[in-house]
Structure 1
Amino acid sequence: MITRQADSALDTGEPRVAALDSFDALRAWADAAIERQRENDCRGDCSLGSLAGELSTKDEESRTDIADGFLRWKDMILNGLRAMRDRGELRDGTDLDELAFALLSALQGGVLLSQTMRHVQPLEASMNAALAYLRSFAMGI
């Protein structure tokens, strides 16, 4: 079930992470996540995140499976960041793993706070901050 939830987020329904290989694509991904929260009245929308909250402290096998799902999401983001670096859009030496985790953490933390507060502001703030951090590694800055 956990693997299916992780895979379904990559395939359909969730903000797309498969083609996050430009600043515009990342902004569209963030905007899509924010819009999904607006559309569902900030009622969550991350099944894997919900499972993490419920199972990660109770069952080691489930925690490992959930972590693997999040790592696959992070790797999808990382692939896009690598493409940006390879095209010269990000400075050499940029820690792409850190940036991928920052973007994923901004999404997950923002969704959790938005769900709890029933307002999109936390998600907007976290995604805007993560994208601003990413831009600080752009070539020419």
Structure 2
Amino acid sequence: MRTLTPKGAATRQRIVQGAAFLMRERGPATVGLDDIRAVTATSKSQLFHYFPAGKADLLLAVARHEADQVLADQQPMLGDLTTWPKWEAWRERVIDKYATQRQKCPLSALTGLLGLADPAVREIIIDLYDRWQAHIAAGVRALRDSGEIAAGIDVDHASTEILTAISGGATMLIATDRISYLEISLGEAVNGLRPARVDPRVGRTDRGLTA
């Protein structure tokens, strides 16, 4: 990508954000360049100046924007999963964000874009999941190193399980508008990190989200 002036970068970002908003609201397939020009107050020459290949270029830019937004929505909690209270704060942030966004979440927008663009969109989504898992894995490792969870825990396995719980719960939320799938799946996945404790009164194991 060529270097842009600050003004040019701001104009390009305004176009990307406007396109992302329309695609979340209406779906990528129904949004044309004229729609994007109208909502961003952009001329045709401006649009093609920043996106020479037209909608194909813009779709990739929107996909990168939405992928970055998925992670940005979880910060600063996602980048500092070093204690159980911080894990709980992150879990609550994830639930709150998806409960607010529902079918208009960035992850839903990325899923819609996947069927319309070239394989580069798939690579953007793979990169998103890799970065997301890396944050979660760093958190699991921090708990392990501080002795909060079992020393022998498989960090990659645990982080994959947690990320899958979010992705699966979010997919079911998008399909049904029910946040309970995400609440339960993420809660169980995070709770599964905790060492099991035996309740001597009933002889059963117990794990709790609260420290």
Q: 2:125 aligns with which of 55, 59, 66?
A: 66
Is 2:20 the counterpart of 1:20? no
Distance 1:44 1:4, change over 3 A: closer
1:6 aligns with 2:36: no
C-alpha displacement of 1:92:
1.7
Q: Is the 8 A contact 2:169 2:182 kept in 1?
A: yes
SS in 2 for 1:17: helix
Structure 2 counterparts to residues 85-124 of structure 1, below 5 A: 85-124=144-183
Distance between the aligned counterparts of 1:84 and 1:57, measured in 2? 40
SS in 2 for 1:14: coil
Q: CA RMSD in A?
A: 2.6
Q: Secondary structure at the match of 1:129?
A: helix
3-state SS, counterpart of residue 151 of structure 2: coil
> Quick check: 1:83 aligned with 2:142?
yes
Counterpart Cα distance in 2 of 1:117 and 1:87: 39
TM-score (norm 2): 0.56
Q: CA deviation at 1:56?
A: 6.5
Selected match of 1:39 from 83, 88, 100:
100
Counterpart of 1:4 in structure 2: which amino acid?
A: H
Inter-CA distance 107–44: structure 2 relative to 1 (3 Å threshold): farther
Contact 2:81/2:139, CA 8 A, preserved across alignment: yes
Letter in 2 for 1:110: G
* TM-aligned CA deviation for residue 54 of structure 1: 3.9
What corresponds to 2:184 in structure 1?
A: 125
Greater CA drift, 97-106 or 47-56: 47-56
- Return 13-22 or 122-131, whichever deviates more: 13-22
52-61 or 63-72: which moved more?
52-61
Gapped regions of structure 1 (runs ≥ 5) = none
- Displaced runs of 4+ in structure 1, greater than 6 A? none
Whichever residue aligns with residue 79 of structure 2, its letter is A
User: Structure 1 CA distance, aligned partners of 2:112 and 2:194?
Assistant: 31
CA distance in 2, matches of 1:95, 1:57: 37
User: Aligned to 1:135, what secondary structure does the other structure show?
Assistant: coil
The structure number with the bigger radius of gyration is 2
- 118 and 8 in structure 1: CA distance in 2 versus 1, 3 angstrom threshold: closer
TM-score by length of 1: 0.79
| Aligned-pair CA distance for 1:34 | 1.6
CA–CA distance in 2 between the matches of 1:99 and 1:7? 23
> How far is 1:58 from its partner?
6.6
